[in-house]
Amino acid sequence: MDVGDLAALGKKRLAVGGWRLVKMLSTEQNEFYQKNGYLHVRGMLTAAEAAFYRQELHDLAERLGERDATWSSVKSAEPAKRTRLMHCHDVQFYSAAFTSLLVDPRFTRIAQGIVGPNVQLHHTKMFIKPPENGSPFPMHQDYPYFPHKHHSMIAAIIHFDDAPVEKGCLRVVPGSHKLGPLEAIGQDHHLPEDQYPIDGALAIPAKAGDAIFMSYLLVHGSGLNRSNEPRTTILVQMRDPADVPLNNKHSSRGQGMMLAGIDPQRPDHEFAWERKAE
Ligand SMILES: O=C(O)CCC(=O)C(=O)O
């Protein structure tokens, strides 16, 4: 096969799987997302797949040992009253199963439908809310952690077990992404509790295998896990590679990996031996 054939093959692939020709979201899904700032995709993974990923995360949590990521604003001063949140950043660096999941077309097609043809990884996080005392997340926007000029950043929370209300499921304020960046408080950038109580927000109970996609401007949080089972999820944060970060405080391993499409402006890698002496 010569170079000409290869180019033709590339074009053919684009015509078959290319973003311009394939509708990524239904009209209904698109309208719902534009209006509400989030989209609940039911059954993105099968129950068996969700169970496999769940086990991977629980095995990982065991290898890592206790790591509590409870937000400072909800951490009780009294150790006996403390809640717990097991956490790992950049899970795909710990288990290859998650590398595959990040580029699973069932996942990336929805992300493309929201972000556009090119979807770039920002970071991933595992959260396991342990039974009976799994920490809540105060209501917040993700914006202050990694502000971007064009607000293309979205999160997807993929559920590996059922998350009913009593497990501390995700809660959102529908349409709040239209308010733009809000003034946040404290080290963890939460919103005032009296204006945005967790229990006052809309609960989105989810099933194992569901994914919830949302804008980084959407006001969201989640309650305490009071149930007798863990709530197991990963959160994938993604953006359009052409968007412009307003600061570089939040860097992560794997940031910049393309999950779908291309990076139209990625600079060439510079090898150490190519750098000019200062
Ligand atoms: O997993 C959840 O319940 C919410 C996580 C979240 O809001 C975050 O990490 O920003």
How much is the average pLDDT of 153-158? 98
How much is the average pLDDT of 162-191? 96
Q: Is residue 81 over pLDDT 80?
A: yes
Residue to mutate, 91, 122, 127, ligand 1, most ligand atoms under 8 Å from C-beta: 127
Domains in the chain, ordered, with CATH? 36-72+83-248 (2.60.120.620)
pLDDT of residue 18: 47
CA 24 – ligand 1 centroid, Å: 25
pLDDT tens string 2-57: 544 544 544 444 444 444 445 689 999 999 999 999 999 999 999 999 999 999 99
Q: Is residue 63 over pLDDT 90?
A: yes
Q: Are 91 and 231 in contact (CB under 8 A)?
A: no
Task: Show Cβ contacts of residue 270 under 8 Å, excluding neighbours closer than 6 positions.
Answer: none
CA 3 to chain centre: 39
Classify residue 255 by its DSSP letter: T
How much is the average pLDDT of 100-115? 97
Helix axes 27-36, 105-115, angle to 10 degrees: 60
Report which of residues 274 and 236 the model is more confident about: 236
CA 117 – ligand 1 centroid, Å: 25
Minimum-distance ligand 1 atom for the alpha carbon of 157: 1
CA 18 – ligand 1 centroid, Å: 32
Q: Is residue 274 over pLDDT 90?
A: no
Q: Are 106 and 25 in contact (CB under 8 A)?
A: no
pLDDT of residue 268: 78
CA 272 – ligand 1 centroid, Å: 38
Minimum-distance ligand 1 atom for the alpha carbon of 221: 7
pLDDT of residue 75: 85
For the Cβ of 227 lying below 6 angstroms from any atom of ligand 1, the answer is no
For the Cβ of 233 lying below 6 angstroms from any atom of ligand 1, the answer is yes
Token output for 190:
């939460």
Taking the C-alpha atoms of residue 141 and residue 218, their distance in angstroms, rounded to an integer, is 6
Report which of residues 217 and 3 the model is more confident about: 217
Token output for 98:
């998650």
For the Cβ of 222 lying below 6 angstroms from any atom of ligand 1, the answer is yes
Taking the C-alpha atoms of residue 143 and residue 180, their distance in angstroms, rounded to an integer, is 9
Taking the C-alpha atoms of residue 28 and residue 1, their distance in angstroms, rounded to an integer, is 44
Minimum-distance ligand 1 atom for the alpha carbon of 222: 3
Token output for 120:
């770039």
Q: Are 264 and 104 in contact (CB under 8 A)?
A: no
CA 203 – ligand 1 centroid, Å: 13
